[in-house]
């Protein structure tokens, strides 16, 4: 029975979601609604007045620019400057309070950090320790191989020849002949 209740609730939520999507309608016409301005000569739709001005100057440069475009651009620029001024004043008023709150909380966070610094490095995980041990074993094996190779080289050198060379060197240093 519990599953039946969950199923009914799920169907109800899905029905509400579908109704909301149906109510909002299709987005196919939204692009046409965004194209609010229209060129008076060729009837091409443009999204902004600046685009319309650029279009008019490039495509219809022989005809003068309509008066409404320049006035509209000036009005848009004034509105944009006013909006930016409001946003800047709002950020200044909000920013001071946020900085004070951040500074107040920042001291506590710093003290916690400083306490944690005295504990030393974090303990290594078992995977890190295992990798280090594996590398140490490999290094020891390599050292054994090198020392064994050196021993083989020394074993190959005949002892009498080495002794006779030492004698010859001894006589040479002293200036005598053997």
Q: Is residue 70 part of a domain?
A: yes
Whether 37 and 83 map to the same domain: the answer is yes
Q: Is residue 50 part of a domain?
A: yes
Average pLDDT, whole number, for the chain? 76
Tokens encoding 74: 């000036």
Residue 88 pLDDT greater than 60, yes or no: yes
Query: What is the pTM for the complete model shown?
Result: 0.36
Whether 44 and 92 map to the same domain: the answer is yes
Q: Is residue 111 part of a domain?
A: no
Q: Is residue 110 part of a domain?
A: no
Lowest mean pLDDT among 31-40, 51-60, 113-122, 163-172: 113-122
15/125: higher pLDDT: 15
Per-residue pLDDT, averaged over 111-125, amounts to 60
HSE (CB half, 13 Å, CA atoms) of 83? 6
Q: What is the pLDDT of residue 128?
A: 85
User: Using one digit for the tens of pLDDT, what is the confidence trace for 148-176?
Assistant: 777 766 666 555 556 676 676 766 677 66
Per-residue pLDDT, averaged over 48-64, amounts to 88
Whether 51 and 96 map to the same domain: the answer is yes
Q: Of 103, 118, 145, which marks where a domain is finished?
A: 103
Q: What is the pLDDT of residue 116?
A: 56
Whether 87 and 140 map to the same domain: the answer is no
At residue 45, the 3 state secondary structure works out as strand
Residue 102 pLDDT greater than 90, yes or no: no
Q: Of 103, 119, 151, which marks where a domain is finished?
A: 103
Q: Is residue 115 part of a domain?
A: no
Question: d(Cα 108, Cα 114) in Å, to the nearest integer?
Answer: 10
5/161: higher pLDDT: 5
Q: Is residue 65 part of a domain?
A: yes
Whether 169 and 133 map to the same domain: the answer is yes
Q: Is residue 2 part of a domain?
A: no
Return the percentage of the chain with pLDDT > 70, whole number. Answer: 63
Q: How many domains does the chain have?
A: 2
130/164: higher pLDDT: 130
Q: Is residue 83 part of a domain?
A: yes
Q: Of 85, 103, 121, which marks where a domain is finished?
A: 103
Question: d(Cα 40, Cα 53) in Å, to the nearest integer?
Answer: 11
Whether 96 and 146 map to the same domain: the answer is no
Return the percentage of the chain with pLDDT > 90, whole number. Answer: 11
Whether 56 and 94 map to the same domain: the answer is yes
Whether 38 and 77 map to the same domain: the answer is yes
Tokens encoding 148: 């064994």
Residue 64 pLDDT greater than 80, yes or no: yes
Q: Can you give the residue range of the structural domain that contains 147? A: 129-174
Q: What is the pLDDT of residue 5?
A: 84
How big is the chain by its Cα radius of gyration, in Å?
A: 44
Whether 47 and 96 map to the same domain: the answer is yes
């Amino acid at each position: 029975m519990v599953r039946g209740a969950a199923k009914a609730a799920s169907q109800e939520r899905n029905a509400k979601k579908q109704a909301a999507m149906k109510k909002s309608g299709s987005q196919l016409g939204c692009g046409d609604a965004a194209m609010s301005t229209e060129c008076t000569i060729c009837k091409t739709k443009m999204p902004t007045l600046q685009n319309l001005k650029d279009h008019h100057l490039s495509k219809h440069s022989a005809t003068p620019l309509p008066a409404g475009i320049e006035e509209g651009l000036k009005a848009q620029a004034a509105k944009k400057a006013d909006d930016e001024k409001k946003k800047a004043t709002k950020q200044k008023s909000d920013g001071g309070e946020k900085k004070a709150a951040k500074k107040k909380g920042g001291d506590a966070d710093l003290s916690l950090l400083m306490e944690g610094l005295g504990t030393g490095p974090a303990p290594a995980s078992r995977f890190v320790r295992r990798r280090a041990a594996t590398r140490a074993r490999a290094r020891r094996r390599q050292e054994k191989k090198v020392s064994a190779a050196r021993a083989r080289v020394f074993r190959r050198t005949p002892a009498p020849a080495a002794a006779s060379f030492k004698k010859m060197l001894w006589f040479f240093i002293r200036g005598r002949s053997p």
